[in-house]
Structure 1
């Protein structure tokens, strides 16, 4: 059964994302899987995830090594510009991000998702 309280922003092409999903299911959690590249999160959803991560800095979930990051000239971007860029270019969002209730973790390494299972 899908856990309504656990969501993973998942990219099936990413080994870390696949590993995090496998760890969740091995531990009896059937999360809601959001393929964030196909269903890009809104700016409000990004702000909500940051809050759950305990930060307001979009760089915490930004893939700064992506070519798109350089193409958009985001190295010196402020938080508002980064949020807009993440919403418009979900490839820039770090993966996976797992949310459970009012908490979230970036699953890098994948074992970090286990932190959510033990409050």
Structure 2
């Protein structure tokens, strides 16, 4: 079953959820702001995304800009920051077993769910 890291307040996340529902795809919703991933879970998720921690940071988020933007952080530090501040994690993220995608673009999402 697919999973979606979802923030109900985010329009892109709501659109992604609606897309999956319209495709009649069974999925589990993970409200990651209420139940943030652990360091281990986020590390596994990054491998599924095939991305570095920096690539899933919401760069324009006020907390990022004011607190972390100009710091020289390694991957482990970034993962710990994202776990402690899940609002900084890009969304929505759709997971299908050993693969994942940031589901902001419907054409990429369409290809992902058909694989």
TM-score, with structure 2 as normaliser: 0.91
Matched, 1:86 2:82: yes
* Displacement after TM superposition at 1:8 (Å): 0.1
* Displacement after TM superposition at 1:115 (Å): 2.4
Please list the CA deviations of residues 50-73 of structure 1 after superposition, one character each: whole Å capped at 9, or x if unmatched. 111123x10121111111112322
Query: How many residues are aligned here?
Result: 114
The CA RMSD measured in Å over matched residues stands at 1.3
Decide which of 38, 44, 47 is 2:40's aligned counterpart: 44
**SS at structure 2 position matched to 1:65:** coil
Decide which of 51, 68, 75 is 2:63's aligned counterpart: 68
* Displacement after TM superposition at 1:111 (Å): 4.2
Paired with 2:107 and 2:75, the residues of 1 have a C-alpha distance of 28
Aligned to 2:19: 23
Higher helix share: 2
Please list the CA deviations of residues 12-48 of structure 1 after superposition, one character each: whole Å capped at 9, or x if unmatched. 1111001111111111113100111111111111111
Question: Tell me, which stretches of 5 or more residues in structure 1 are unaligned?
Answer: none
Aligned to 1:104: 100
Aligned to 1:117: 113
Q: Structure 1 runs of 4+ off > 6 angstroms? A: none
Return 102-111 or 45-54, whichever deviates more.
Answer: 102-111
